[in-house]
Chain A
Amino acid sequence: MNSRNNGAQEQDFLLAVALNAMIPLANERTLQAAYYILRGRKANQTLQDVHLYSLYPYYRLFPQLSKENWDKIVSNLLQRKLIVEIEGAGGGRKPTFAVTATGLHFAREQFGMYQMHLWLAPFNQSSLTYNTELFWQRLHLLVQTISQMAAASMNFIPVVSDRRIQQWVKMQVGDSRVRSGWKNHLADELYALWAPFPAQVQRLMVAQLSGAAQTGKTLGQLAMQQGESKFYLHVLFRFGLVSSIQRLHQEKEQFPYLHALVQIHDPENGDPRLSESASRTYALIKRGYQKDKIAKLRGIKVSTVEDHLVEMALRCREWDCSDYLHANQAAEIVSASEKLGTSRLRMIKDHLGKDVSYLQIRLALAQRQGESAP
């Protein structure tokens, strides 16, 4: 397709999207109201409008849309007589606009041409709460990491530089069991997730991802390659993201691994590597509490808290347990266990005497086990 043509086509598409967002707002809101919705402004008025007029698909549809660009769209709509301005009447009424018959026709025709009813269908009140960016960044980095692992070349530069996302992925692949799960199931689950989507969307999702054998393409590059408008591909991409997240929420059981992508843990409260109770203990430890205090605070037995500490020593390598176990004690315990050829606590304790506690032995052994896990 000719690129010059593409420009006009792109402009028409943008006009149609703007117009369809504006139709419910006609005679009631100003010319700017739709702009705030498309940009995703967080102001109360804007969110109220989204709910009131069910404009869910349009909220944050084009977060990058500049005011300049918007003004161009509006003046285009006016010039082509798709809308007309209505001046503010007396009594403090704000200026508004009306959509002409030509406008309604244009909006309907363009939307039909681009099958927009299909692409906007998954958006509703709950999709408003999805964090599509987080989902995509996690998926992107996870796919890249697993792909590089499969190719046995870990010398790669992550596409996502956000530290939190990197930590999340690191956590996913840190545990050897979970890691091999991802390796075995990621492709299958992605296939199951995306197979029902239209081919154009599937292609869009896959082509943007990076791995050992491919470098991801930007949306702009794909638009160029396919001779499509970049804005149109963006709409398709958003359809792909929201539909993916929706399925992962609704069909949890089908996606035991991918489901983690839409789980949002506050690192202070929940740590997916630990049991719920242990992760609460870990959060308190991070705030500097000692085990006896934690038991009191949480109203649980000290021995339970100690169980949590052992769980942490096993699963959370970054935990510095020196408050409970010194490095040289740990070495002593490990070497005793190796010498005796046993992991039985009683035998190790008998060998080392009263200077080491059972907790310390358990911590040292758990730590060793955690470290030797591939």
Chain B
Amino acid sequence: MKEGLEEQLHKHFGYPSFRPGQLEVIQYVMRGESVLGMLATGGGKSITYQLPAMLLPGITVVISPLISLMMDQVQQLRAIRRIPATYLNSTLDQRDAREILREIERGTYKLLYISPEKLQQPYIQTVLRRVGVALIAVDEAHCISQWGHDFRTDYLRLPEVIEKLGKPPVLAVTATATSAVQKEICELLGIKPEHIVQQPLNRDNIAIERIAVPGESERRLQVLQLMDRLTGPGIVYCSTRQAVDVLVASYQLEGKRSVHGYHGGMNSMERMMIQAQFLAGELEIIVATNAFGMGIDKSDIRFVIHYQMPASLEAYAQEIGRVGRDGKPGYAALFYVWDDVQIHQHMMEREYPNRQQLQQFTELLLKGEPFTTEMLASIDMTQDMAELLLFYAERVGIPSRSEAVASMEPDALRDCGDAIMRELEVRKRLKQQKLAEMLDYVQEREVCLRKRINHYFGDSAAGFTLQCCSSCGLNRRVYEAEEVAWTKESQEKNWDLLQALSVLLPK
């Protein structure tokens, strides 16, 4: 079976052989068994469902929470691999969505990427049942776990949907999950605990440094210097869009290299161009929020700097994991100032409603009107927050139909409000705990950082190729470039439209 699959891998994707873990996962899937794959992002996670999709009869449904990632993947599959794939999510208007469903019925596609909330729609389920679902791939499967760092309420409804689609085998994939999270994924998605495939977690070619700085100005100075010195290409992660903009602006005053910011506030065409420039090696450093990196297939990234402490070790491991996929030496630096934790506290506050907002929300529920963006804005609530509340409201027994809500006793409704608040408190405490774990990581003394991260995910590996970490002793010079060339472009002198067009559109 292995040779046959390798041949298919080469035929469809052009890779000569599987990466660790891939084959094992695919073999489970081809045998019709559900499996959990713990595979690093960029470590060939997507191949584990894309290849079976090409080989199995019927359609493979990929559930992904990240809309832009979904669209990128479909683009790449269509353009580069010539694989019939499509997506359904909230960005499509009704007419397009209907057209795609018709095409699905006609058997045009082997792969459908879909957002979890779209998959709830009975009409879509009917169409999929009719076509026959070969496999359900649950990407970012940790989102289903209430213990995970990125719990999404619509994921928790997936078991029901899988049932409705005729219980096809499930492939759950995630890059980062602690053993508690793994256990929950298996229970909810009906995966046998012995069907967990784990890619080795330890990245032995990445040296890990942790740098405490007394304050913001010192930090900026050091990061700006590193951006000029480290061997590129690289990524600098910041916690907020504003931090991205500020860092880019200050680098551009003095820095030598071509650098650009990237965050969700930019328009999509700009983001596509920046990404393309980075992939093509025209941009050396990207300064970004965590919006950048998912699904980026660039193997020669030499460093990742964290300007601030991330919100969880899961996020941290995932982001530094983008370094050195080619196996050559790479470097990860994490800067932190003691009050970094405040940024995350603040973001968390905004993520969860307070008592008053909850009160206003239940009042809206009572009125029985649909939640429009304006309405939510009037009580200073995001769409995500409203969905979270609706989910918990349902869980504590508030009916989803408004007439039924209206007939509830005020006392009963108040009790429900309390129950929702308690559920939210649990979620919040969990996030606090993740943050506390991250804080431990940055503050602990004398502990090998590599062992510390691996241990967190239940792996005892500790090997390294060049240097280990700043606790074990690390010489950063090794990762600095001999000489940094001036790559910031300046304007070419002579302009000739005809010549420029002939470069763009050669005859």
Chain A positions near chain B (C-beta within 8 angstroms): 3-4, 137, 140, 143, 146-147, 150-151, 154-161, 163, 186-187, 190-191, 194-195, 199, 202-203, 206, 209-218, 220-221, 224-226, 320
Contact = CB atoms under 8 A, between A and B. Distances in A.
Given A3-B252, A210-B276, A221-B260, A194 B497 contact: yes
A146 B488 CA distance: 29
A159 B272 contact: yes
Interface stretch (B125-133, B361-369, B438-446, B499-507): B499-507
A154 B79 contact: yes
Interface in B483-507: 488-491, 495, 497-498, 500-507
Contacts of A190: 501, 505
Contact of B497 (A3, A206, A212, A226): A206
A215 B506 contact: no
A140 B507 contact: no
B225 interface: no
Given A218-B270, A225-B491, A161 B75 contact: yes
A150 B282 CA distance: 22
Residue among A157, A190, A191, A195 with the highest chain B CB neighbour number at 10 A: A157
A163 B96 contact: yes
A358 B221 CA distance: 80
Given A155-B79, A160-B269, A203 B92 contact: no
Contacts of B71: 161
Contacts of B277: 215, 217
Contacts of A221: 260
B273 A215 contact: yes
Contacts of B489: 225
Nearest to B74: A161
B280 interface: yes
B1 interface: no
A215 B505 contact: no
Nearest to B272: A159
B140 to A, nearest CB: 21
A143 B504 contact: yes
B79 A157 contact: yes
Contacts, number: 100
B76 interface: yes
B489 to A, nearest CB: 5
Nearest to A158: B75
Contacts of A154: 79
Given A187-B502, A191-B498, A320-B106, A215 B282 contact: yes
Contacts of B80: 155, 157
A224 B75 contact: no
Nearest to B248: A220
B436 interface: no
A213 B497 contact: no
Given A143-B505, A211-B504, 20 more contacts: A150-B505, A155-B80, A157-B76, A161-B71, A187-B505, A190-B505, A191-B498, A194-B497, A199-B497, A202-B495, A202-B497, A202-B500, A203-B495, A209-B504, A218-B270, A220-B260, A220-B270, A224-B488, A225-B491, A226-B491
Contacts of A194: 497
Interface string B445-488: 00000000000000000000000000000000000000000001
Nearest to A216: B273
Contacts of A160: 269, 272
Closest 6 CB pairs of A and B: A187-B505, A211-B504, A155-B80, A206-B500, A202-B497, A187-B501
Contacts of A220: 260, 270
Given A202-B497, A225-B491, A3 B505 contact: no
Interface of B: 71-72, 75-76, 79-80, 92, 96, 106, 252-253, 260, 268-270, 272-274, 276-277, 280, 282, 488-491, 495, 497-498, 500-507
B252 A224 contact: yes
B505 A159 contact: no
B504 A147 contact: yes
Nearest to A226: B491
A121 B489 CA distance: 32
B89 to A, nearest CB: 11
B269 A158 contact: no
A215 B269 contact: no
A158 B500 CA distance: 21
Nearest to B258: A221
30 contacts: A3-B253, A157-B72, A157-B75, A157-B76, A157-B80, A157-B272, A158-B75, A159-B269, A161-B71, A161-B272, A163-B96, A187-B502, A187-B505, A199-B495, A202-B500, A206-B501, A209-B504, A210-B276, A211-B503, A211-B504, A213-B506, A214-B504, A215-B273, A215-B280, A215-B282, A216-B273, A218-B260, A225-B491, A226-B491, A320-B106
A150 B80 CA distance: 17
In this complex, which of B76, B92, B506 has the most chain A Cβ atoms within 10 angstroms of its Cβ?
B506
Nearest to A213: B503
B270 A213 contact: no
A158 B274 CA distance: 13
Nearest to B273: A216
Contacts of B495: 199, 202-203
Contacts of B506: 147, 150-151, 212-213
Which of B106, B497, B498: most chain A CB closer than 10 A? B497
A190 B252 CA distance: 34
A211 B505 CA distance: 7
Given A195-B497, A206-B501, A159 B273 contact: yes
A163 B253 contact: no
Given A163-B96, A213-B503, A224-B252, A157 B497 contact: no
Nearest to B261: A220
Contacts of B253: 3-4
B500 A203 contact: yes
A156 B79 contact: yes
Contacts of B282: 215
B267 to A, nearest CB: 9
Contacts of B268: 161
Contact of A218 (B79, B273, B488, B505): B273
Nearest to A267: B95
Contacts of A137: 269
Nearest to B92: A163
A319 to B, nearest CB: 12
A214 B277 CA distance: 9
B249 to A, nearest CB: 8
A105 B394 CA distance: 65
Contact of A210 (B72, B273, B490, B500): B273
Contact of A140 (B79, B269, B505): B269
